[in-house]
Structure 1
Amino acid sequence: MAQLTIDVNGRPYSVGCEDGQEGHLLDLARMFDRLVRQVSQDMGQLGETRLFLMAALLLADEMSDTRARMTAIQGELARLQSDNARIEARAASALERAARRIEELAGD
């Protein structure tokens, strides 16, 4: 397990992560740090716990919105796949009818 130090709101924190995930963890820490600093700017200096809580709640809200959008998109995808399957079935049926008609005409 890798150990690294991340900075959030100017304070260092030692954290562990799976080997190979260091870059990803640093990216997440930078994102969280930016959000914490923004909350601090917007709301004034709060205690660290409240500051982190507000940032976590903002992230949870964003995640909730993203999940709702994903659910809507998945529903739309399912609808489009169903429409596509119906169109393909109608096209195949039309091709079969056309092939039968061509065979009938060729037999005359």
Structure 2
Amino acid sequence: MPQIVVTIDGKTYRMACAEGEEQHLETLAADVDGKIAELRGSFGQIGDLRLTVMAAIMATDQLHEARRRLAELQARLDADVTARAAGEAGEATTREEFARTLDETAASIERISAKLAGGQ
């Protein structure tokens, strides 16, 4: 299992990850480091633990918002798929009715033609 070293808030941490996940873990650690730096810039020296907890809450809030947005988009997609399926079903019904009407009209024309041909 690969191990990498990341730096967060000036402290280094050795971490294990799955094969091929090294760059992803480094990116995540850089994001956490950025959040802590942002908080430190806003609040000053309020304690490492408090900064870490605030950064975790910020990240969790962003995750929560992303999940909420994803659920909203999924609901819209589901509604669109349902509406499209209903529309396609309606179109199929309309085509069937048109074909039936056309068949009935053709039969009527044939009957009229037969009567006209028989009357001559």
- Tell whether the structures are fold-level matches, with TM greater than 0.5: yes
Aligned structure 1 segments of 4 or more residues deviating by more than 6 angstroms: none
Distance 2:72 2:78 in 1: 10
* 3-state SS, counterpart of residue 20 of structure 1: coil
Mean alpha-carbon deviation: is it higher for 82-91 or for 63-72? 63-72
**Is 2:28 aligned against 1:28?**
yes
Q: Structure 1: any 5+ residue segments left out of the alignment?
A: none
Q: Give RMSD over aligned pairs.
A: 1.3
Code of the residue aligned with 1:27 in structure 2: it is T
Code of the residue aligned with 1:92 in structure 2: it is A
* Alpha-carbon offset, residue 96 of structure 1: 1.0
* Alpha-carbon offset, residue 60 of structure 1: 0.7
Q: Which residue of 1 aligns with 2:50?
A: 50
TM alignment of 1:1-108, pairs within 5 A: 1-107=1-107, 108=109
Deviation per CA, 1:12-68: give whole Å up to 9, x if none. 111110111001111111111111110111111222211111100000111111111
TM-score where L is the length of structure 1: 0.91
Distance 2:51 2:20 in 1: 30
* Alpha-carbon offset, residue 101 of structure 1: 2.2
* Alpha-carbon offset, residue 103 of structure 1: 2.4
Instruction: Number of aligned residue pairs: give it.
Output: 108
* 3-state SS, counterpart of residue 50 of structure 2: helix
* 3-state SS, counterpart of residue 46 of structure 2: coil
* 3-state SS, counterpart of residue 19 of structure 2: coil
Q: Structure 2: any 5+ residue segments left out of the alignment?
A: 110-120
